[in-house]
Amino acid sequence: MAKLNMVQAINLALHQEMERDGTVVVLGEDVGLDEGVFRVTAGLLTRFGEARVIDTPLAEAAIVGTSIGMALGGLRPVAEMQFDGFSYLSIPQLEGHASRLRARSQGQRTVPMVLRFPYGGGVRALEHHSEAREVLYAHVPGLKVVIPSGPRNARALLVSAIRDPDPVVFMEPKALYRAFKEEVPEQAEALPLGQAQVVKEGRDLTLVTWGAMLHRSLQAAEEVDRRRGTRTEVVDLLSLAPLDGETVVNSVSRTGRAVVVQESPQSYGPAAEIIARLNDRALDRLEAPVARVSGFDVVTPYFGREKAYIPDAARVARALEHTLDYR
Amino acid sequence: MPLSDLASFQVQRLQVLDQDGKLDQSLEPDLTRAQKLALYRAMLLAREGDQKAIKLQRQGRIGTFGPSTGQEAASTAPAFAMTERDWFVGAFRELGGWLARGMPLENFLWFHNGWEEGSVFPSLGRTLPVNIIVGSQTLHAVGLAYAMKLRGEQDSAVVAFFGDGATSQGDFHEALNFASVWQAPVVFICQNNQWAISLPVGKQTHSRTLAQKAIAYDMPGIQVDGNDALAMFRATQEALARAKAGGGPTLIEAVTYRLMMHTTSDDPTKYRTEAEVQEWWQRDPLKRFRLYLGAQGLLDEAGHAALEAEVKAEVEAAVARFEARRDFKPDAPFDHVFGTPHPELEGQRKTFLRELAQAGGPEARHG
């Protein structure tokens, strides 16, 4: 086992899947010669050649639109959007076609493609480079949305995404790209899509989160638990669509209290959906209102204010305390 | 320093049969007697089917749709130039092409009566379903063409249809650019029917032709009389041969006319004159092809009457099959979200079916 950061782990998945399956192609802006702006596609062009590692012209909608055609034609395209904020240019193709062709053709056509892109804050870049808008994708029936939280699960989830028969939006928390390393087994491993993981077991409160928010949430949970002698359970969603409501509902049914942490703007965010599921299926088990820690309904601020706006461990800890204190 | 000429371009126009059915023999494509008759029969079926569908819509027996009367040659003749190894990527006004690809007419009627099942038929093969968002399918065609090239399927190319309105969409320009950069085996056929609902082509673009849009992408572009089935066959055949030989994409502007309304919900008298429509009836693609077949000694008056009766009977039989089908499973949409079931979605299916049963079953809820 090698210790890899998330960039290296995703790169490993791409190498191994392209090696395993000759129909897997990688396309996007600067993914070949330049190896991607975050170097996620390093080495692919040299290994697999320009027919399968395609430096495309600069047009996000066309990258996704042609990926759809490639998928219809028997390939498994893995398309890269350079940044979250640019991915919106491809939404008409994702929403209008990638998500719908299975239904439109009554299962006769499928679009096995992956759209991967770095998302969320943390790289001190320009406008449109630090956005967390998961629900733009998760709201669309027929799209799967996957968000890893570390090198090992990033690799294992990407393997599943590439092998999946349907379009998967794979959002890579860019703040985690080089944040830490983890043991990642050489042998390919896959994690099922649409399944959350309990990453810390507890009995007093359930903290639900995903992606880059997981680590500060864990830090907050550990601090609070240390201070109060509580045991907080932490659920890492890993997939936002389809959402594993069962794992969340089961956990909260045991703990009776919940906090949801999201980086994205507050209104209509994933937390709202999770709270609605708890309302439907665990209301009588709740001992406190479900709290959410989120971004605000403002245009994503430039990085000068990023630290102030993105939820941090202290905000999460306060929400945990408040929810634990509620009587 | 004086300006120098870097490049100059020209746009060519192809017509084989004029509007009176007069043939330019030097351009006549190589079609057998049987193929010529089959092509005419296919266009006639599209015409009769289209006219029947308008009646069904007026009677409330199907929903709204985009009639293709007057545009039969522009999609049917290309379908005849294609093989089953080629991909047919249509928009929503290619009834002739779809029928020629083996889609039964009843499927068109199911589709336009609100049933996705209409998109599935036995000879589906490499025919994509109706694509409503104008121009967006051109990108799928380029991706398909790339896949054919990468997979080494040298006997396969892609034909994408769209209208004059689509040429204003970014997707169209991106598709031409990607296709050209990749030298992808794809043929773009623009059915320039002069009207994008109420906007005439002269307000859609300031370009004198749509064919010239190919020039910017350095691909062959040609304007074809889109009401001339022989010209459409010839142009498509040449473009497909070039694509399969590695010569890259082609843009064909098929100059045609929408003789009916944009969709059955549209009233074209609001934006165009009857005189203009009458002028285009003179260029009817069926009329001139029939004259051509007559001049070739392939179809006389009696033969035509018999063919017309046969096609009309075929249309009626399709309508009967259309109306007989009742087995539209109400929860089919849940079957086609993902290829792998998920417990949350299955839970929603149960809720839906329970609610539906309480409402009196699926028959009570047909949209």
pLDDT in tens, A260-291: 999 999 999 999 999 999 999 999 999 999 99
pLDDT in tens, B105-156: 999 999 999 999 999 999 999 999 999 999 999 999 999 999 999 999 999 9
| Final residue of a structural domain among A184, A206, A241 | A184
Residue B141: inside a domain, yes or no? Answer: yes
Tracing tokens 């990033």 back to the chain, one arrives at: A154
State the smallest CA–CA distance between residue B301 and chain A in angstroms. 42
Residue B71: inside a domain, yes or no? Answer: yes
| Final residue of a structural domain among A184, A207, A232 | A184
Q: Range with the lowest mean pLDDT among A14-23, A39-48, A124-133, B181-190?
A: A124-133
Residue B5: inside a domain, yes or no? Answer: no
Give the mean model confidence (pLDDT) for residues A175-186. Answer: 97
Residue A95, both tokens: 């929403």
Burial class (CB in 10 A: 0-12, 13-18, 19+), A108: middle
Asked whether residue A201 falls in the same domain as residue A149, the answer is no
- ipTM of the complex in this document: 0.96
Q: How many CB atoms lie within 10 A of CB B316?
A: 12
Residues of chain A contacting residue B130, judged by C-beta atoms under 8 Å apart? 104
C-alpha closest to that of B43 among B23, B17, B25, B64: B17
Asked whether residue B157 falls in the same domain as residue B47, the answer is yes
Burial class (CB in 10 A: 0-12, 13-18, 19+), B360: exposed
Contact yes or no for B140 and A72 at CB 8 A: yes
Asked whether residue A206 falls in the same domain as residue A177, the answer is no
State the smallest CA–CA distance between residue A134 and chain B in angstroms. 19
pLDDT at B363: 62
Residue A248: inside a domain, yes or no? Answer: yes
pLDDT category of residue A122 using cuts at 50, 70 and 90 = confident
Q: How many CB atoms lie within 10 A of CB A4?
A: 19
C-alpha closest to that of B130 among B188, B91, B79: B91
Contact yes or no for A103 and B333 at CB 8 A: yes
pLDDT at B305: 98
Residue B7: inside a domain, yes or no? Answer: no
Asked whether residue B220 falls in the same domain as residue B347, the answer is no
Range of A97's domain? 2-184
State the smallest CA–CA distance between residue A315 and chain B in angstroms. 31
Distance CA B249, CA B242 (A): 8
Residues 6+ apart with CB under 8 A from A75: A23, A24, A25, B146, B147, B150, B151
Residues 6+ apart with CB under 8 A from B318: B49, B104, B105, B106, B109
Asked whether residue B210 falls in the same domain as residue B341, the answer is no
Contact yes or no for A73 and B148 at CB 8 A: yes
pLDDT at B360: 77
Asked whether residue B295 falls in the same domain as residue B344, the answer is no
Asked whether residue A216 falls in the same domain as residue A169, the answer is no
Quote the number of domains for chain A.
Answer: 2
Instruction: Pick the residue from chain A with its C-alpha nearest to B345.
Output: A242
User: Do A115 and A167 touch, CB atoms closer than 8 A?
Assistant: yes
Asked whether residue A29 falls in the same domain as residue A107, the answer is yes
Asked whether residue B268 falls in the same domain as residue B304, the answer is yes
For chain B, the C-alpha Rg in angstroms (whole number) is 22
Asked whether residue A103 falls in the same domain as residue A202, the answer is no
Distance CA B233, CA B220 (A): 16
Contact yes or no for A59 and B333 at CB 8 A: no
Residue B112: inside a domain, yes or no? Answer: yes
Residue B4: inside a domain, yes or no? Answer: no
Residues of chain A contacting residue B246, judged by C-beta atoms under 8 Å apart? none
CATH number at residue A124: 3.40.50.970
Quote the number of domains for chain B.
Answer: 2
Burial class (CB in 10 A: 0-12, 13-18, 19+), A252: buried
H-only helix segments in chain B: 33-58, 72-81, 95-100, 105-111, 137-150, 170-182, 201-204, 229-242, 274-281, 285-295, 301-324, 332-335, 343-358
User: Do A28 and A80 touch, CB atoms closer than 8 A?
Assistant: yes
Residue A120: inside a domain, yes or no? Answer: yes
Residue A140: inside a domain, yes or no? Answer: yes
Q: What is the phi-psi region of residue A229: left when phi exceeds 0, alpha when psi lies from -120 to 50, beta otherwise?
A: left
Contact yes or no for B340 and A72 at CB 8 A: no
Distance CA B274, CA B266 (A): 15
| Final residue of a structural domain among A139, A159, A184 | A184
> B349 φ, ψ to 5°?
-60, -45
Asked whether residue B274 falls in the same domain as residue B347, the answer is no
For chain B, which residues lie within 8 Å of any Cβ of chain A, measuring from their own Cβ? 87, 116-117, 119-120, 124, 128-131, 133, 136, 138-148, 150-151, 158, 170-171, 174-175, 177-178, 181, 332-333, 335-340, 342-345
Residue A189: inside a domain, yes or no? Answer: no
Out of B258, B283, B288, B290, the active site residue is: B258
Asked whether residue B251 falls in the same domain as residue B350, the answer is no
pLDDT at B366: 66
Residue A144, both tokens: 């799967």
* Alpha-carbon torsion, ordered B172, B174, B180, B183, to 10 deg: -100
pLDDT in tens, A88-109: 999 999 999 999 999 999 999 9
pLDDT in tens, A204-260: 999 999 999 999 999 999 999 999 999 999 999 999 999 999 999 999 999 999 999
Asked whether residue A315 falls in the same domain as residue A249, the answer is yes
Nearest to B146 among A57, A70, A164 (CB): A70
Residue A204, both tokens: 């007093």
Asked whether residue A203 falls in the same domain as residue A304, the answer is yes
Asked whether residue B306 falls in the same domain as residue B356, the answer is no
Looking at the DSSP assignment, which residues form a beta bridge with residue B199? B196
Asked whether residue B260 falls in the same domain as residue B339, the answer is no
Contact yes or no for A102 and B124 at CB 8 A: no
C-alpha closest to that of B9 among B221, B287, B245: B221
Residue B6: inside a domain, yes or no? Answer: no
pLDDT category of residue A123 using cuts at 50, 70 and 90 = confident
Residue A190: inside a domain, yes or no? Answer: no
Asked if pLDDT for residue B362 goes beyond 70, the answer is no
pLDDT at B254: 98
pLDDT at B364: 57
pLDDT at B3: 93
pLDDT at A102: 98
The residue ranges of DSSP E strands in chain A, in sequence order, are 2-4, 24-28, 53-55, 76-80, 114-119, 144-146, 168-173, 182-184, 197-200, 205-209, 232-236, 239-241, 258-261, 291-293
CATH number at residue B19: 3.40.50.970
Looking at the DSSP assignment, which residues form a beta bridge with residue B257? none
pLDDT in tens, B314-330: 999 999 999 999 999 99
Residue A22: inside a domain, yes or no? Answer: yes
Residues of chain A contacting residue B151, judged by C-beta atoms under 8 Å apart? 23, 73-75
Out of A128, A129, A215, A322, the active site residue is: A129
Asked whether residue A27 falls in the same domain as residue A146, the answer is yes
Q: What is the phi-psi region of residue B125: left when phi exceeds 0, alpha when psi lies from -120 to 50, beta otherwise?
A: left
Residues of chain A contacting residue B122, judged by C-beta atoms under 8 Å apart? none
Q: What is the mean pLDDT of chain A?
A: 97
Asked if pLDDT for residue B96 goes beyond 70, the answer is yes
Known catalytic residue at B292: no
Asked whether residue B270 falls in the same domain as residue B353, the answer is no
Asked whether residue A290 falls in the same domain as residue A217, the answer is yes
Contact yes or no for B140 and A65 at CB 8 A: yes
Q: How many CB atoms lie within 10 A of CB B203?
A: 10
User: Do A101 and A109 touch, CB atoms closer than 8 A?
Assistant: yes
Known catalytic residue at B258: yes
pLDDT category of residue B359 using cuts at 50, 70 and 90 = confident
pLDDT in tens, B43-61: 999 999 999 999 999 999 9
Instruction: Pick the residue from chain B with its C-alpha nearest to A108.
Output: B120
Contact yes or no for B344 and A242 at CB 8 A: yes
pLDDT category of residue B365 using cuts at 50, 70 and 90 = low
Residue B227, both tokens: 């009401």
Contact yes or no for A51 and B129 at CB 8 A: no
* Alpha-carbon torsion, ordered A318, A321, A322, A326, to 10 deg: 180
Asked if pLDDT for residue B1 goes beyond 90, the answer is no
Asked whether residue A159 falls in the same domain as residue A257, the answer is no
Going by the DSSP 8-state scheme, the letter that residue A70 receives in this structure is H
Identify the helix (H) or strand (E) that includes residue A271.
helix A270-281
Asked whether residue B317 falls in the same domain as residue B337, the answer is no
Asked whether residue B288 falls in the same domain as residue B266, the answer is yes
Asked whether residue A136 falls in the same domain as residue A270, the answer is no
Residue B1: inside a domain, yes or no? Answer: no
CATH number at residue A227: 3.40.50.920
Distance CA A42, CA B279 (A): 61
Range of B245's domain? 12-324
> A220 φ, ψ to 5°?
-65, -45
